[in-house]
């Protein structure tokens, strides 16, 4: 009797890539003779390194007495929009904006994306003066431009937001536009900053081919509203143009501070929210490999194993302390959007073959923690708090995007480092007392948290580890509210706050899912 079964098996690392060994393991699991298995196909792959003997967990589809049918071809086909199609204006060409546009096309709407930065190809050239001269091109950098912050700052796709929407559909859309097929099976999928630019360019082409529009170097500086201010019908841009539409999806990302200022100046409702700030912590990747894979330092990591990652989290004094955006085999990059600040972030190429591992190490910040900025900045106090640390980092780093840094051991002992650990951060480092530059409520909790993490990961606290300041753009310090039912701003009909910049997402996949939901909501509402 023929059938198709999906099973989970666990295999030793050295056998996990052996096709025949997989068949034998599957046969034992299904209690059949191996000869009954005609075909197998990998559906999910993950590594379990919790114990010294590393195991591989596989989800496989098994054809008993039959060959498995071919998987449907993944392609990017979108119908052309009608000449009289309703217009959906989308502010921001990050994952939320791009996936909102693709969904708009599927729903028969014409998407018009407005992006302050440049296309991915031109944007790449604008990173050179940032890295080599320490000069920020303020509308084209690691944060702004086609694909958003993820384009050149990693491309991690892992998400816990599996209940937010069709995660698999997002992965398949990325594959259809050139992402590697492995993201469909890896437990922690990752594209890499070397591959992602071509993926986002392909998505843009799909939008254009179907009749959508994408306008680069188009910075929104005003909202076009009805006389009573209760309905939005378009936006104005810095070059004097106006774009009119039936709905406006605001998908600007958490670094578009001018948008928050614009909303505040027009009295549009926003809310303070929790966010997190801290540093980038950087170790030699072989050290992290030896800790996570339980072998002696100096032993070469088997080729079958990826560069090891980690995730650390605790709560100290009512505030979360946790790692953020861990980049195995990665680099630390300058993520400033203005020339008077230093901001650091992490990235990895698809191969993840850098000799360094880096991660954000951050402490949560509550609205009451930024009270000193309330009188001057009001609702924007969290943003002002972030900015103050970024300006301080620039001054301590001595300019040209050099970042203030300290060995982890010296940070814990509260002394300036006489020398600094090796780093991947290209603009360079300046020794500085991070324990004095950051607010005490962050320093004390981070010190306690690091000591706790060091007990769980023996070797994590070492002179080889450096701390680089500051990681301030983990999430938005504000939430732009929306109704749960229709995703519209509660006070402005037709305005759809979306994804990270609005406080509703935290990564490429969750942002893409939120973009899809906002497009669906906009299409469902009669204007």
Classify residue 375: in a domain, yes or no. no
H/E segment holding residue 202: helix 196-209
Same domain, 46 and 158: no
Asked whether the predicted pLDDT for residue 527 surpasses 60, the reply is no
Higher pLDDT among residues 150 and 332, named by residue: 332
The mean pLDDT of 18-44, rounded to a whole number, is 97
Same domain, 173 and 242: yes
* pLDDT classification of 100: cutoffs 50, 70, 90: very high
Asked whether the predicted pLDDT for residue 509 surpasses 60, the reply is yes
Classify residue 180: in a domain, yes or no. yes
Domain CATH code at residue 199: 3.50.50.60
What integer pLDDT is reported at residue 152 of this predicted model? 78
Classify residue 72: in a domain, yes or no. no
Same domain, 238 and 296: no
pLDDT by residue (tens digit) across 486-504? 999 999 999 999 999 999 9
Q: Determine the Cα angle at 174 with ends 171 and 178, to 5°.
A: 135
Same domain, 105 and 155: yes
Asked whether the predicted pLDDT for residue 159 surpasses 80, the reply is no
Total tally of structural domains belonging to the chain: 3
Classify residue 380: in a domain, yes or no. no
E strand map for 285-339: 313-316, 319-327, 330-334
pLDDT by residue (tens digit) across 362-393? 999 999 999 999 999 999 999 999 999 999 99
What are the residue ranges of helices labelled H in 416-471? 434-437, 440-456
- DSSP, res 503: T
What integer pLDDT is reported at residue 298 of this predicted model? 87
The mean pLDDT of 468-482, rounded to a whole number, is 96
What separation, in Å, do the N-terminal and C-terminal C-alpha atoms of the chain show?
A: 56
* pLDDT classification of 165: cutoffs 50, 70, 90: confident
Is the separation of the CB atoms in 132 and 334 below 8 Å? no
Radius of gyration over every alpha carbon of the chain, rounded to an integer in angstroms: 24
- DSSP, res 311: -
Is the separation of the CB atoms in 328 and 348 below 8 Å? yes
User: 279: which 2 tokens?
Assistant: 């540093």
Classify residue 504: in a domain, yes or no. yes
Identify the domain containing residue 60 by its residue range: 3-64
User: 384: which 2 tokens?
Assistant: 């002002």
What integer pLDDT is reported at residue 193 of this predicted model? 82
What integer pLDDT is reported at residue 154 of this predicted model? 62
H/E segment holding residue 287: helix 285-293
Measured distance CA(14)–CA(3) in Å, rounded: 29
E strand map for 329-423: 330-334, 344-348, 356-365, 403-407
pLDDT by residue (tens digit) across 221-280? 999 999 999 999 999 999 999 999 999 999 999 999 999 999 999 999 999 999 999 999
Strand partners for 467: 281, 406
* pLDDT classification of 435: cutoffs 50, 70, 90: very high
Which of these three, 471, 490, 509, is where a domain ends? Answer: 471
Same domain, 176 and 298: no
Classify residue 76: in a domain, yes or no. no
User: 183: which 2 tokens?
Assistant: 């993201």
Classify residue 59: in a domain, yes or no. yes
Same domain, 264 and 236: yes
Domain CATH code at residue 29: 3.30.1660.10
Phi-psi region of 7 (alpha: psi -120 to 50; beta: other; left: phi over 0): beta
Same domain, 123 and 56: no
Same domain, 457 and 433: yes
**β-strand 319-327 against 356-365: which pairing, if any?**
antiparallel
Same domain, 155 and 288: no
Same domain, 160 and 289: no
The mean pLDDT of 99-116, rounded to a whole number, is 97
CB atoms under 10 Å from CB of 462, counted, come to: 15
- Structure pTM? 0.95
Q: Which of 110-114, 153-157, 407-411, 510-514 has the lowest mean pLDDT?
A: 153-157
Which of these three, 33, 49, 64, is where a domain ends? Answer: 64
487-493: list long-range contacts, CB under 8 Å, 24+ apart. 487/517, 487/518, 487/521, 487/522, 488/521, 488/525, 489/268, 489/269, 490/269, 491/230, 491/268, 491/269, 492/225, 492/229, 492/230, 492/231, 492/232, 492/268, 493/230, 493/231, 493/232, 493/527
* pLDDT classification of 155: cutoffs 50, 70, 90: low
When the pLDDT of each residue in the chain is averaged and rounded to a whole number, the result is 95
Same domain, 352 and 411: yes
What are the residue ranges of helices labelled H in 340-380? 374-377
Asked whether the predicted pLDDT for residue 162 surpasses 70, the reply is no
Q: Which residues of 395-416 are buried (b: 16+ CB within 10 A; e: fewer)?
A: ebbeeebbbbbbbbbbbbeeee
Same domain, 424 and 281: yes
Write the DSSP string, 209-241.
HTT-EEESS--EEEEEE-TTSSBEEEEEETTS-
Classify residue 14: in a domain, yes or no. yes
């Amino acid at each position: 009797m023929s059938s198709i079964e999906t099973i989970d098996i666990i295999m030793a690392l050295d056998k996990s890539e052996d096709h025949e060994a997989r068949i034998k393991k599957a046969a034992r699991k299904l209690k059949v003779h191996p000869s009954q298995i005609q075909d197998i196909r990998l559906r999910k792959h993950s590594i379990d390194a919790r114990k010294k003997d590393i195991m591989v967990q596989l989800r496989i589809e098994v054809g008993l007495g039959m060959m498995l049918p071919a998987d449907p071809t993944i392609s990017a086909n979108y119908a052309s929009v009608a000449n009289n199609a309703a217009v959906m204006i989308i502010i921001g060409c990050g994952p939320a904006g791009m996936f909102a546009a693709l969904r708009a096309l599927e729903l028969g709407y014409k998407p018009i994306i407005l992006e302050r930065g440049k296309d991915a190809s031109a944007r790449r050239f604008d990173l050179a003066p940032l890295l080599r001269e320490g000069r920020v091109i303020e509308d084209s950098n690691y944060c702004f431009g086609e694909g958003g912050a993820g384009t050149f700052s990693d491309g991690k796709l892992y998400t816990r937001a599996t209940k937010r929407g069709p995660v698999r559909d997002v992965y398949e859309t990325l594959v259809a536009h050139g992402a590697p097929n492995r993201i469909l099976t890896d437990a922690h999928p990752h594209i890499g900053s070397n591959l992602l630019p071509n993926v986002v360019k392909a998505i843009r082409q799909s939008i254009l081919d179907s009749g959508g529009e994408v306008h680069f170097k188009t910075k929104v500086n005003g909202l076009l509203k009805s006389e009573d201010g209760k309905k939005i019908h378009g936006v104005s841009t810095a070059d004097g143009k106006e774009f009119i539409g039936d709905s406006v999806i605001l998908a600007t990302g958490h670094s578009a501070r001018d948008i928050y200022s614009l909303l505040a100046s027009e009295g549009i409702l926003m809310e303070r929210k929790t966010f997190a700030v801290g540093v980038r912590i950087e170790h030699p990747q072989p050290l992290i490999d030896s800790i996570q894979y339980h072998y002696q330092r100096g032993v070469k990591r088997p080729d079958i194993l990826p560069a090891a990652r980690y995730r650390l989290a605790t709560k100290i004094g009512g505030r979360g302390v946790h790692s953020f955006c861990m980049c195995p085999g990665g680099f630390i990059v300058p993520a400033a959007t203005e020339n008077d600040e230093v901001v650091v972030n992490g990235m990895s190429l698809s191969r993840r073959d850098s000799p360094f591992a880096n991660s954000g190490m951050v402490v949560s910040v509550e609205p009451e923690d930024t009270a000193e900025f309330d009188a001057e900045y009001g609702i924007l106090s969290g943003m002002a708090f972030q900015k103050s640390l970024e300006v301080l980092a620039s001054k301590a780093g001595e300019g040209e995007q050099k970042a203030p840094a300290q060995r982890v051991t010296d940070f814990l002992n509260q002394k300036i480092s006489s020398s600094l650990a090796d780093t991947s951060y290209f603009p360079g480092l300046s020794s500085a007392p991070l324990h004095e530059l950051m607010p005490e409520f962050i320093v004390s909790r981070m010190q306690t948290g690091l000591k706790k993490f060091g007990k769980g990961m023996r070797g994590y606290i070492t002179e080889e580890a450096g701390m680089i300041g500051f990681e301030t753009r983990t999430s938005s310090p504000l939430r732009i509210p929306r109704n749960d039912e229709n995703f519209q701003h509660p006070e402005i009909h037709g305005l759809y706050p979306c994804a990270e910049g609005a406080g509703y997402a935290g990564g490429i996949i969750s942002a893409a899912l939120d973009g899809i939901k906002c497009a669906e909501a906009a299409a469902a509402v009669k204007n």
